[in-house]
Amino acid sequence: MADAKTILIVDDDVTLREMYEERLKQSGYQVIGGSDGEEAVNKAKSEHLNLIILDIMMPKVNGIDALKTLRDDEATKDIPVIILTALIQEIDKIKDILTEKDAYFIKSEEMPKDVVDKVAQILS
């Protein structure tokens, strides 16, 4: 599928990341995985991405710092980002750097289908 959109999903929870990778692949997307914010930034700079799904609480570089780095870089600032977090209070720390193309989900409140549907909406 040469024209498939490429999504980077970054989460240190391997089971959750693999579940989202599989769901997104079934929906026709090319998927790249990562396990921390440092990987997110590096892969965003080296790959042609259409969207990033990013956890907040991760080792090395957390999702908030990774998002700030992505927004400060001319090459990655316009990539839409969906934040997935277990901590609702963390959302307040990033609301000011989210754009109208971005979204966030609280892991315990959303079904994976909701996230995949939002990906489709953003990329349409």
Q: What is the pLDDT of residues 41-91, one digit of tens each?
A: 999 999 999 999 999 989 899 999 999 999 999 999 999 999 988 877 767
- What are the extents of the domains in the chain? 6-123
Mean pLDDT, all residues of the chain: 91
Nearest to 79 by CA among 97, 95, 60, 93: 97
Query: Contact, 81 vs 52, CB < 8 A?
Result: yes
pTM, 2 dp: 0.92
User: CA quadruple 110, 47, 50, 81: dihedral positive or negative?
Assistant: positive
Res 99: pLDDT = 84
Segment 105-113 mean pLDDT: 87
Query: Contact, 66 vs 54, CB < 8 A?
Result: yes
Res 2: pLDDT = 47
Res 15: pLDDT = 94
Architecture of domain 6-123: 3-Layer(aba) Sandwich (3.40)
